[in-house]
Structure 1
Amino acid sequence: MLAAVLVGGISLPAAQAAAPVVSYNVPASPAIKAPIQKPLWTASFDKNTNSVVTDDGILFTFNGGKLVALNANNGKKLYTYGSRLRPDVAHQKGTVYGVTEAGQVYALQAKTGKRLWQTAAGVTDSGSPRVIGDTAYVTKGNAIIALDAATGKQCWKAIEEQSEFAGGVSMEADGIVYASYMVQGALTSVQLDAFDKKTGKKLWKQFRQYPPLAVRNGLVYSLRDEYPFDDADPKRELNINVFDAKTGVEKETQTYSWSLGALPPYTRDNNGSVILNGNDLYIATDSAVMKYDITAYKKDAKPLQKWSVPNVGKSLIGSVHDNKIFFSKEASGAITGMKLANGQTFGFQTDNQPVQTDIYGNGVYIAQSDGVLHGYNLQTAAPAFTVNTGSRQYGPTLLSGNTLIIQAKDTGKLIAVQVPKTLR
Structure 2
Amino acid sequence: MTTKFKPVRAGIIAALAAISIGSLNLPVIYADAPIVSESFSAGDPIKAPLQKPLWTASFDKNASSVVSGDGLLFTFEGGKLVALNVQNGKKLFTYGSKLRPGAAYLNGVVYGVTDSGQVYAVSAKTGKQVWKSAAGITDANAPVVIKDTVLVSNKNAFIALDAATGKQRWKAVEDQAENQGTVATEADGILYVTYWVQGALTSSQLDAIDLKTGKILWKKFKQYAPLTIQNGLVYSIADQYSFDDADPKRELNIAVLDAKTGKTKETQTYSWTLKSQPPYQGGSGSAILNGKDLYIATDRAVMKFDITAYKKDGKPLKTWNVDNTDKDIIGSVHDNRVFFKNSSKPEITGMKLADSMTFNFRTDNPPVQTDIYGNGVYIGQSDGVLHGYNLQTTFSVFTVNTGSRNYGPTLRSGNTLIIQAKDTGKLIAVPVPKALQ
Q: TM-score, normalised by structure 2?
A: 0.93
- Cα distance, 1:11 vs structure 2: 11
Number of equivalences: 419
Q: Would you say 1:250 and 2:300 are equivalent positions?
A: no
2:305 is aligned to: 292
Equivalences for residues 215-294 of structure 1 within 5 A: 215-268=229-282, 270-294=283-307
1:21 is aligned to: 35
Q: Would you say 1:325 and 2:338 are equivalent positions?
A: yes
* Aligned-partner residue type, residue 36 of structure 2: V
Distance (Å, rounded) in 1 between the aligned partners of 2:248 and 2:349: 25
Equivalences for residues 12-411 of structure 1 within 5 A: 14-268=28-282, 270-411=283-424
- Cα distance, 1:267 vs structure 2: 2.5
Distance (Å, rounded) in 2 between the aligned partners of 1:354 and 1:26: 19
* Aligned-partner residue type, residue 55 of structure 1: G
* Aligned-partner residue type, residue 82 of structure 2: V
Q: Deviations over 1:195-230 (max 9, x none)?
A: 122211111111000011111111111000001321
- Cα distance, 1:290 vs structure 2: 0.4
- Cα distance, 1:19 vs structure 2: 2.2
Distance (Å, rounded) in 1 between the aligned partners of 2:26 and 2:55: 62
Secondary structure of 1:214's counterpart equals strand
Distance (Å, rounded) in 2 between the aligned partners of 1:100 and 1:306: 51
Secondary structure of 2:435's counterpart equals helix
Larger Rg: 2
What runs of 5+ residues in structure 1 fail to find an aligned partner?
none
Inter-CA distance 8–170: structure 2 relative to 1 (3 Å threshold) = same
Distance (Å, rounded) in 2 between the aligned partners of 1:232 and 1:372: 45
Q: Deviations over 1:379-405 (max 9, x none)?
A: 111110001111100000011111111
* Aligned-partner residue type, residue 120 of structure 1: A
Distance (Å, rounded) in 2 between the aligned partners of 1:347 and 1:159: 44
Inter-CA distance 223–12: structure 2 relative to 1 (3 Å threshold) = same
Distance (Å, rounded) in 1 between the aligned partners of 2:215 and 2:245: 40
* Aligned-partner residue type, residue 31 of structure 1: P
Distance (Å, rounded) in 1 between the aligned partners of 2:421 and 2:343: 21
Inter-CA distance 11–80: structure 2 relative to 1 (3 Å threshold) = farther
Inter-CA distance 21–114: structure 2 relative to 1 (3 Å threshold) = same
Q: Deviations over 1:82-137 (max 9, x none)?
A: 00000000111111110000000011111221111110000100111111111111
* Aligned-pair Cα RMSD in Å: 1.7
Secondary structure of 1:271's counterpart equals coil
What runs of 5+ residues in structure 2 fail to find an aligned partner?
1-18
Distance (Å, rounded) in 2 between the aligned partners of 1:260 and 1:30: 36
* Aligned-partner residue type, residue 308 of structure 2: T
Inter-CA distance 337–8: structure 2 relative to 1 (3 Å threshold) = closer
Distance (Å, rounded) in 1 between the aligned partners of 2:204 and 2:222: 5
Q: Is the 8 A contact 1:369 1:393 kept in 2?
A: yes
Distance (Å, rounded) in 1 between the aligned partners of 2:117 and 2:301: 47
Q: Would you say 1:412 and 2:432 are equivalent positions?
A: no
Q: TM-score, normalised by structure 1?
A: 0.96
What is the percent sequence identity of the aligned residues? 68
Q: Deviations over 1:5-46 (max 9, x none)?
A: 976999987413432101122211211111011111111111
